[in-house]
A and B are shown apart, each in its own frame.
Chain A
């Protein structure tokens, strides 16, 4: 990948790949923490207390942003592939990021 070839749709691709990779790496951790409810409930509460820290809140905001941006980016891809319209690609890519910011922002406002 080279900066020389960077353009809006290419950046949308990079965002989709980076968010997808990050979510895939987060997933095992997420599953492990939840399964504590079964094995060691007191550890789960300990962990949930840890999530009250501002830094963790910020990381949660990041995660939800990644989730939203990956979902809307993916919907954009499927719309482009399967529906017979394709011209306003850049607008859609930008819109996907916008909605993702909106949703994660809502979450952020709720938690602080």
Chain B
């Protein structure tokens, strides 16, 4: 159910996300000091090419990674297999990617919200 190709995809997205996750946690620790407001978050991220690339690659990697992980769980614990397993797991990847892209645009696109 996990062949070499999916395994490599899972490991490569994991390696991409390891530094991104550390960065994300660091940003969170810094950002939550003194409370969160939308203006504060967006003022930092909107129109920034760096944060667009940072969270853009994060969204792409996590959509693939989470879909493959859920594929394994759906097979081992829910008995899904064959074509339906593939359709569901790539469907999950597509939904996550769509939602993630929307969030990415909202947070980093120049003048997105204000």
Contacts and interface: CB of A to CB of B under 8 A. Distances in A.
Direct contact of A and B (CB under 8 A): yes
Contact size range, B: 35 or more
B100 interface: yes
B84 interface: no
Interface of A: 17, 20-21, 23-24, 27-28, 30-32, 34-39, 41, 44-45, 48, 51-52, 64, 67-68, 71, 74-75, 78, 103, 106-107, 110-111
Interface of B: 11, 14-15, 17-18, 21-22, 24-25, 28-29, 32-33, 35-39, 41-42, 62, 66, 69-70, 73, 95-96, 99-100, 102-103, 105-107, 109, 112-114
20 contacts: A17-B73, A20-B73, A21-B73, A24-B70, A27-B62, A28-B95, A35-B105, A37-B106, A38-B105, A38-B112, A39-B106, A41-B38, A45-B37, A51-B36, A64-B25, A67-B21, A78-B11, A78-B14, A107-B28, A111-B32
